[in-house]
A and B are shown apart, each in its own frame.
Chain A
């Protein structure tokens, strides 16, 4: 039974470019949450998708957008990349939007470097 899978594992982009990161939830899960973890910091909540809609959003600018597909997989898009967007991007899935109360299991993440 595959857990949460993310792609790509590593990515290098130039300032101003756009990037798309992908996440496939664990089998049986229908909710995907995205987190950004900068070096030396804890993960910060970006947003959560359920039933193909953004249900909750953290304190991130509109440059960060997402999408959820009918098969529950999700994409995170970041436009106009800044150097400060360099981070580990983590995806977590759950069964229902409130199930984070049981603790999330994260995918192995995508390490984005903006140069």
Chain B
């Protein structure tokens, strides 16, 4: 079993839709969790840190459930510009383990 697993995707949604990504992790020693966004042929960019208490930034909400060992990302009112690959990552001691990523396509 991979240490970090994500929904396989791709997700094709209309503009304005709400979309949710889930990610499970197997290493209970992981201390920090993040969502990254990656555009085609570009580097991943940090989108949000993920906390047990939940973390909201505009249309984006991230949540960590340590008991079930999963993290989630919710995007509300999706825009065309949200089209990208979303990567979850967990880590400790300074190195991150990434999921494979889930591709999101938002259509007009």
Which residues on the B side are within 8 Å of A58 (C-beta)? Answer: 95
The CA-CA distance from A11 to B105 in the complex, in Å, is 30
17 CB contacts below 8 A, A to B, read A33-B94, A33-B95, A42-B87, A42-B99, A42-B100, A43-B44, A43-B87, A44-B98, A45-B95, A45-B96, A98-B94, A100-B93, A101-B91, A102-B32, A103-B46, A105-B46, A106-B45
Which A residues, 75 to 115, have Cβ-Cβ distances below 8 Å to chain B?
Answer: 88, 90, 94, 96-109, 111
Q: Chain B at the A interface: mostly helix, strand, loop or mixed?
A: strand
The A-B contact count (CB < 8 A) is 68
Which B residues, 32 to 77, have Cβ-Cβ distances below 8 Å to chain A?
Answer: 32, 34, 41-46, 49
The CA-CA distance from A31 to B95 in the complex, in Å, is 11
B12 close to A (CB within 8 Å): no
Q: Is the Cβ of A45 less than 8 Å from the Cβ of B97? A: yes
Q: Is the Cβ of A108 less than 8 Å from the Cβ of B101? A: no
Query: In the complex, which of the residues A44, A97, A101, A109 contacts B32, with contact meaning CB atoms closer than 8 Å?
Result: A101
Q: Is the Cβ of A56 less than 8 Å from the Cβ of B97? A: no
Which residues on the A side are within 8 Å of B106 (C-beta)? Answer: none
Q: Is the Cβ of B43 less than 8 Å from the Cβ of A100? A: no
Q: Chain A at the B interface: mostly helix, strand, loop or mixed?
A: mixed
Query: In the complex, which of the residues A90, A100, A103, A106 contacts B95, with contact meaning CB atoms closer than 8 Å?
Result: A100
Interface size class of chain B, counting residues whose CB lies under 8 Å from the partner chain: 20 to 34
Q: Is the Cβ of B44 less than 8 Å from the Cβ of A101? A: no
7 closest cross-chain pairs (CB), A and B:
A42-B98, A100-B94, A101-B32, A106-B43, A103-B46, A45-B95, A98-B94
A48 close to B (CB within 8 Å): yes
Query: In the complex, which of the residues A44, A48, A105, A107 contacts B94, with contact meaning CB atoms closer than 8 Å?
Result: A48
Taking the closest CB of chain B, its distance from the CB of A48, in whole angstroms, is 6
